[in-house]
Chain A
Amino acid sequence: MKKLTLLTLIFLVVVVSFSLTHAGERLRLSTTTSTENSGLLHALLPPFEEMFNVKVDVIPVGTGQALKLAENGDVDITLVHARHLEDRFIREGYGVNRRDVMYNDFVIIGPESDPAGVRKAKTAADAFKKIALKRGTFISRGDNSGTHVKEMEIWKTTGKKSSGSWYLEAGKGMGTVLTMAYEKRAYTLADRGTYLAFLGKKKIDLPVLFEGDPVLFNPYGIIAVNPARHPHIDYVKAMALIGWVTSKQGQKIIKEFGKDRFGQPLFIPVAVPNP
């Protein structure tokens, strides 16, 4: 019987300690892996949490899934980067009050030796064409993330087929794809934030081979889930978070973030002039 008492005791401790973790209000934010993995949200959210006495639960997934979670009402707010998916999301009535938050850009990276000659490309589409022609190994996110959507957009303009033994669809996040590109000496499209974070910590040594095409512009937007469609979401707190992220103070945090560690900011704020 002693054993039974002991087990009951363990059980009670376990259950009681759980009920404690449920105290306090929680706001759910689905977002892309880039904002979470870069560490930006760890800098941006704590002041907000303190100011409004709310805990923000960050669910880091690809943009496609982040929007899907918002569509289902499983989160209150979403921070993503795929403009035409966002516009559709709002058009179909799932989200309201989208605001521009920040941007960075995509870069095409690859092996130093650059067998496909991407360095000589004039446009991003041209670079992709060269890779396809030379059948240089290319790693695709393949996960319907913002980066993957952008990649597909570029492939469409090249008229080349993104398939074949040289084209590898990883179905993984940016970090994993960068590691795969490094291990396989392959080309890939990366968001500059995650790329800089990996380069800065010496996890990869692949140089940027192409950048600067306007098509590689990568804007991030924050959208509240439509309370008319999902009445249970915390709309007021969601709007407060939009307010914070696009406020002078919030934008200043974004502007400063990463400067000390990577030598340049990972994201450029756009919601207010001169934060």
Chain B
Amino acid sequence: MDYISDAILNALWLILSLDREVFGITLLSLRVSATATVFASLVGIPIGFIIGTGDFWGKRPLITLFNTLMAFPTVVVGLLLYSFISRQGPLGHLGLLFTPWAMVIGQFVLATPIIVALNISATQGIDPRVRLTALSMGANTLQTAITVLSEARFALISAVIAGFGRVITEVGCALMVGGNIRGYTRILTTAIALETTKGEFAFSLALGFILLAVAFLVNIFFHWLQVRRE
């Protein structure tokens, strides 16, 4: 039981003293996951919108596909990405392995299906009359899309949060393609994995609390974005 009380004190101390290393690790976690989520949203929201509102052959299998991809194991994504960006792989010459960008790509692959799948249901739930009204008032395709999307904005932001939640807590892929390099690709989850192997359970737990706090603060931020438009 000492672990837990030690960990809470430890976490508080690390946060209050702004331990430089822990601060850097936390910031990198946020940066990597935020970048991946931004890219995943830029790709995932339009795809989700097109599938959700469109009417075309193969729509159902496509939805099933994205629902399945939501459960893609992180280590498998890591392994596939690794085989592509290793020097022996087809993209080896880019020198991406063991850089923060490798982790961004991995997390992008993990977040996109979630954002697509949740956007499909979000846009499907919008009353079709919204689209028709926009069209009848002379909106072009893009304006119509923006109208529908803004109608679905709550579900849309939830989708982005879900995508972010998946990647900031992810460890398998980041460990494999990031390499857990101190001060360069070490993020909260890989640091927790490392400290646990060193037997530093209280410190690991402290990092875990920081991860939880970060996820909580990000959610509060998004919630604030949601209500601000009320």
Q: Does A14 contact B (CB under 8 A)?
A: yes
Q: Please pick, from B97, B184, B198, the residue contacting A74 in the complex, using a CB distance under 8 A.
A: B97
Is there an interface contact between B184 and A201, defined as CB atoms closer than 8 Å?
no
Q: Please pick, from A3, A74, A175, the residue contacting B87 in the complex, using a CB distance under 8 A.
A: A74
Is there an interface contact between A59 and B199, defined as CB atoms closer than 8 Å?
no
- With contacts A21-B184, A74-B97 known, is A230 near B87, CB below 8 A? yes
- With contacts A3-B225, A3-B229 known, is A232 near B87, CB below 8 A? yes
- With contacts A3-B229, A58-B182 known, is A72 near B86, CB below 8 A? yes
Interface residues of B in 33-79 (CB under 8 A from A): 34-35, 38
Is there an interface contact between A198 and B199, defined as CB atoms closer than 8 Å?
yes
Residues of B within 8 A of A198 (CB): 199
Give Cα A195–Cα B141 distance, bound, in whole angstroms.
Answer: 67
Interface residues of A in 165-185 (CB under 8 A from B): 172-173, 175-176, 178-179
Q: Does B166 contact A (CB under 8 A)?
A: no
B171 to chain A, nearest CB (A): 15
Is there an interface contact between A37 and B225, defined as CB atoms closer than 8 Å?
no
Q: Does B98 contact A (CB under 8 A)?
A: yes
Q: What is the interface of chain B mostly: helix, strand, loop, or mixed?
A: loop
Give Cα A225–Cα B23 distance, bound, in whole angstroms.
Answer: 34
Is there an interface contact between B180 and A60, defined as CB atoms closer than 8 Å?
yes
A residues contacting the other copy or chain, number (CB 8 A): 35
Residues of A within 8 A of B182 (CB): 58
Q: Please pick, from A17, A72, A175, the residue contacting B88 in the complex, using a CB distance under 8 A.
A: A72
Give Cα A204–Cα B201 distance, bound, in whole angstroms.
Answer: 13
Is there an interface contact between A178 and B199, defined as CB atoms closer than 8 Å?
yes
Give Cα A173–Cα B193 distance, bound, in whole angstroms.
Answer: 11
Residues of A within 8 A of B88 (CB): 72-73
Residues of B within 8 A of A72 (CB): 86-88
Q: Does B197 contact A (CB under 8 A)?
A: yes
Q: Does B101 contact A (CB under 8 A)?
A: yes
Q: Does A133 contact B (CB under 8 A)?
A: no
- With contacts A28-B98, A175-B199, A178-B199 known, is A58 near B181, CB below 8 A? yes
Q: Does B165 contact A (CB under 8 A)?
A: no
Is there an interface contact between A59 and B31, defined as CB atoms closer than 8 Å?
no
Residues of B within 8 A of A28 (CB): 98
Residues of A within 8 A of B197 (CB): 33, 37, 172-173, 175-176
Give Cα A7–Cα B101 distance, bound, in whole angstroms.
Answer: 20
Interface residues of B in 176-202 (CB under 8 A from A): 179-182, 184-185, 194, 196-199
Give Cα A179–Cα B180 distance, bound, in whole angstroms.
Answer: 21
Q: Does B128 contact A (CB under 8 A)?
A: no
A83 to chain B, nearest CB (A): 25
Q: Please pick, from A7, A57, A175, A178, the residue contacting B179 in the complex, using a CB distance under 8 A.
A: A57
A139 to chain B, nearest CB (A): 14
Residues of B within 8 A of A18 (CB): 31, 35, 100-101
Is there an interface contact between B86 and A17, defined as CB atoms closer than 8 Å?
no
The 3 tightest CB contacts between A and B, nearest first, are A73-B87, A203-B199, A59-B179
Q: Can you list 30 A-B pairs, Cβ within 8 angstroms, ordered by A?
A: A3-B229, A7-B38, A11-B35, A11-B38, A14-B34, A14-B35, A18-B35, A21-B184, A28-B98, A33-B197, A57-B98, A57-B181, A58-B181, A58-B182, A59-B98, A59-B181, A60-B180, A72-B88, A73-B92, A74-B86, A74-B98, A173-B197, A175-B199, A176-B196, A178-B199, A198-B199, A203-B199, A204-B199, A230-B87, A232-B95
Q: A74-B97, A203-B199 are in contact. List 16 more A-B contacts (CB 8 A).
A: A3-B229, A7-B38, A10-B38, A11-B35, A11-B38, A14-B31, A14-B34, A18-B35, A57-B181, A59-B180, A60-B194, A74-B87, A175-B197, A175-B199, A230-B87, A232-B93
* B interface residues, Cβ below 8 angstroms from A: 31, 34-35, 38, 86-88, 92-93, 95, 97-101, 179-182, 184-185, 194, 196-199, 225, 229
